[in-house]
Amino acid sequence: MATVRILNLVLAITALALFVNLIGANRFTGEMVYSLDKSEPRCIVSNGDEQSPLTDLNECCFMLQAQLACSPYGINSADFACSTSDLGLKYIANQKTISYCKSEGYRLKLK
């Protein structure tokens, strides 16, 4: 009888996970990852040797979405560099910013 109860509990947890996936897991998991990450969101516009911060996260997400690709950037790969080509502007964002953009529904092209 205890085996049936354990099996029912596992099935209930699986059904809950599938239901969350059905209603939109990206939004749910994106918000969870964003809230658990204690670092500050960071977005930097880089043009050659010049760099300037972009403080509005929604504007940053919009610009990241407009780029052709975002790939890991830096030593620990916690940052992503997004650009349309090897030359010109490059947008550098950390994982907290990427999680925020995903939770807000922006479609980023991550590699």
Per-residue pLDDT, 1:
77
| Whether the predicted pLDDT of 28 surpasses 60 | no
Per-residue pLDDT, 111:
82
Taking the whole predicted model, whether its pTM rises above 0.85 is answered as: no
Angle, in degrees to the nearest 10, between helices 95-103 and 57-66: 90
Sign of CA dihedral 20, 26, 29, 30: negative
Tens digits of per-residue pLDDT, 79-104?
Answer: 899 999 888 899 999 988 988 888 88
């940053």: which residue's tokens? 60
Per-residue pLDDT, 104:
86
Taking residues 39-55, report their average pLDDT.
91
* Total Cβ atoms within 10 A of residue 7: 10
Determine what percent of the chain is predicted with pLDDT higher than 70. Answer: 83
Tens digits of per-residue pLDDT, 58-72?
Answer: 999 999 999 999 999
Determine what percent of the chain is predicted with pLDDT higher than 90. Answer: 41
Q: For residue 29, name the pLDDT band (cuts at 50, 70, 90).
A: low
Per-residue pLDDT, 52:
94
